Structure 1
């Protein structure tokens, strides 16, 4: 017997809702993007702890990650930053062209000026023009506050380009294994508060001009200044001074009324020993570069009889006599009879 039409309608199951587009395609439900819920400061803190290569590769984890990566305030680039993950040697650049292209892409995608830039590579000597353009762009961006340049080459000395000297916004500057040729018409560096020069080749005039230009400087570190003979320090805002030398050069502190802490380290013999180790078996080093940096032991021996080391040391201590804290460390690794 045929059922009444009203009962058939009641027995008919209710239609299922139409499947969503993702379900129709067989895809899994979209996971919640929790990273995008974090504020920019938290995302910056996470990205800052990742190597630059990994930070760029993980931008797919969050829809806001690429935008925040483009405003990352600090960039640290080393020799092996853009190597393949399985290369295994982070102290060596696997492919120079890829390194340059990768850094170019990172900077081209920036949405804000770089606030702190730390570059450690020997490519600066091999690609000098490229790096001049790089520092022109970064130093002229109007936002750079901290700059660290480390030349990792053992046979070349990198000449610091003029855009660095003319940067108006720098508050911290660190230069390692570089050559200073400070322009006479220096317009920048007035805002620098911390200056660190390590294994640099510079004349007395270069050092004096650079220190005097850093009018806001309250911290100065000089590690192994080569070629300079008579360093004069005039820094009205200087509070902390640290000097490490391989022999007591003539260093005069003429004007530093706020000086509060002084550290002086003398490491006799260390320069001679390290020069021998670094240059042994290396036939590609030019004579001029070796005289400036790597054959320092020869210069030390040549000046040994001419330098009034006791007089220089007394003159230095006399100039910093009013500072509250003084530390003098001596490291004698070979007989010293003068």
Structure 2
């Protein structure tokens, strides 16, 4: 079929007038699409159309990890580290909106060079952008990354997750006044510095400690704490002013032979009683066999003086070759 010149012109005008559906998607739809894309793919959407060219500039959540690097580059240790650092610099330089969450992880990327100065610089930049959630998993060969002091002045932080880091707050550390969640995994921190830091997080609601080095006796002072999870080797644990604590998960090894452990004294009060003292709102409790052995130390009651009326979930790992653990479990069940 042959079209006349007039018909061809009319057809072309009709095609030109059809809406570009990708360009004119509603803002909340494009935001949703972008939120599911790795940053590397989000940047690639800039070629879709003029309206998409700068969409990724305002991504509120930035995740910088292996997915940001091409498969070819990630196999070359001489290429990956400078390429990765430049890519992070490029993203932060062009970003124009608020940054709510920033995650950096270089664990599964080859390379032996040091990223310390780069990460320090990024943290300082993010503080200026009022970052709310910071996740750092910085793998440096044979050492931990030391968190710079500038981070301890960041009052906008709501969530902080660190892995393979060394925490050393400055002597003049005042507080993380807005921090609600703290997750430390394979982190080194001094006992006194940790306790001082926790006591200066008035809004802290959730805490997770995994293999934290430098802590022996865990002393928690957090009036708004609602969730607490711990895993590692310690001598004991106490809670002070944690009346809101509702969920406790403990899968730890406790050194009952330590000279500093008060439960070694004959006739001393049970660790079980001390643990449940002032825990009126506990709703969920999950403890491993090693911690049950810790709770069994001392003089065990038949049941707790104050029943756990809100406890709706209880998970116990019991060594049935250990009578003390059995009696401790029975005491809990009666309560």
Normalising by structure 1, report the TM-score: 0.71
**Within 5 Å, which residues of 2 pair with 1:6-45?**
16=6, 32-45=19-32
- Cα 1:237–1:320 change in 2 (3 A) is same
List runs of 5+ in structure 1 lacking aligned partners.
1-13, 269-299
List runs of 5+ in structure 2 lacking aligned partners.
265-269, 292-321, 323-335
Q: 2:225 aligns with which of 233, 238, 248?
A: 238
Partners of 1:82 and 1:98 within 8 A in 2: no
Aligned residues: 279
Residue-by-residue CA offset, 1:167-197 (whole Å, 9 max, x unaligned) = 1111111111111101122245210111111
Which of 52-61 and 118-127 deviates more?
118-127
SS of the residue corresponding to residue 197 of structure 2 reads helix
2:82 pairs with 1:97: yes
Residue-by-residue CA offset, 1:55-102 (whole Å, 9 max, x unaligned) = 112211132223321110100111x24422445769x89521111111
Runs of 4+ in 1 over 3 A off after TM superposition: 14-20, 28-32, 85-90, 122-125, 303-316, 318-323
- Cα 1:88–1:169 change in 2 (3 A) is closer
Which entry has the higher C-alpha Rg, 1 or 2? Answer: 1
Aligned to 2:213: 226
Q: Give the CA RMSD over aligned residues.
A: 3.6
- Cα 1:173–1:15 change in 2 (3 A) is closer
Compare relative contact order (CA 8 Å, sep 6+) and give the higher one, 1 or 2: 1
SS of the residue corresponding to residue 58 of structure 2 reads coil
Aligned to 2:289: 330
Partners of 2:175 and 2:197 within 8 A in 1: no
Aligned to 2:261: 308
Partners of 2:112 and 2:141 within 8 A in 1: no
Distance 1:320 1:249 in 2: 21
- Cα 1:176–1:316 change in 2 (3 A) is farther
- Cα 1:160–1:15 change in 2 (3 A) is closer
Q: Following TM superposition, by how much is the alpha carbon of 1:127 offset from its aligned partner in structure 2, in angstroms?
A: 2.3
Distance 2:220 2:18 in 1: 61
